[in-house]
Amino acid sequence: MDHGAHHTTTAHDHDAHQAHGGHAGHAGHEGHAGHRTGGVTWGAAAKATLHCLTGCAIGEILGMVIGTALMWGNVQTMILAITLAFVFGYSFTLFAVRRAGLDWKSAIKVALAADTVSIAVMELVDNSIIALTPGAMDAHLSDGLFWGALLGGFAVAFLVTTPVNKWMIGRGKGHAVVHAYH
C-alpha cells in the first residue's frame, strides 16, 4: 500500500475545518494538532454564549416556574433555578461530545471545562438583575414583571458573558475545548 498517497488524500485541512459549519470564528481554539491559530471573532463568542444561554435559560425558567408554582420561597426557587441552569447548560455540551464518541467521564470533564465559567457569569448577572428589579422576586408566573425581569436578565447576561467567552476562547479555554470534538 502506498502510504504517501494515502496521507496526501486524507491530510487534515485545518483551514477547511475552521471554515466548516460556521466555525471560522473559532480560530483561537487549540486546534487538532495543539497549535494556536489566531484570534476569535465576536460572532464566534456570541455563538458560544448563545449556546450556553440556551441551556441556562431552559433550566432557569423551569426552576422559576416550578418554584413559583409550588409557592416556594425566593431563596429555594433561585437555588432550584440556578441548579437547573447548570444542569441544562452542561447537558447541551455533554450530549454533543458524547455523540462525538467521548466516554462519560471524559465528556463530563469537557463539559465542565467548556461551560463552568460561562454559566457562572451568566447566572450571577441574570440573578442579580432579577434580585435587583423591584417586585420581580415576588411576581407570579402570570405577571409581566416576572417575565420582563427574567428575559431582561438574560439579555444583560448575554452582553456581559460574550466578552468573557471571547477572551476564554481566544486562549483555548471555555467553549474552545469542545471544538476538538467537532
With cut-offs at 50, 70 and 90, classify the pLDDT of residue 59: very high
Q: Where are the alpha helices (DSSP H) in 30-73?
A: 42-69
With cut-offs at 50, 70 and 90, classify the pLDDT of residue 182: low
Q: Is the pLDDT of residue 166 over 60?
A: yes
pLDDT of residue 13: 36
Share of residues in the chain with pLDDT > 70 (%): 79
Indicate the burial class of 6 (C-beta count within 10 angstroms; 0-12, 13-18, 19 or more): exposed
With cut-offs at 50, 70 and 90, classify the pLDDT of residue 178: confident
With cut-offs at 50, 70 and 90, classify the pLDDT of residue 179: confident
pLDDT of residue 5: 40
pLDDT in tens, 117-165: 999 999 999 999 999 999 998 888 889 999 999 999 999 999 999 999 9
pLDDT in tens, 12-38: 333 333 333 444 333 333 333 333 345
Question: Are residues 45 and 22 in contact, defined by beta-carbon separation less than 8 angstroms?
Answer: no
Query: Taking CA 101 as the corner, what is the angle to CA 97 and CA 103, rounded to the nearest 5 degrees?
Result: 85
Distance (Å, whole) CA 73 – CA 145: 17
pLDDT of residue 57: 95
pLDDT in tens, 63-100: 988 998 898 998 999 999 999 999 999 999 999 899 99
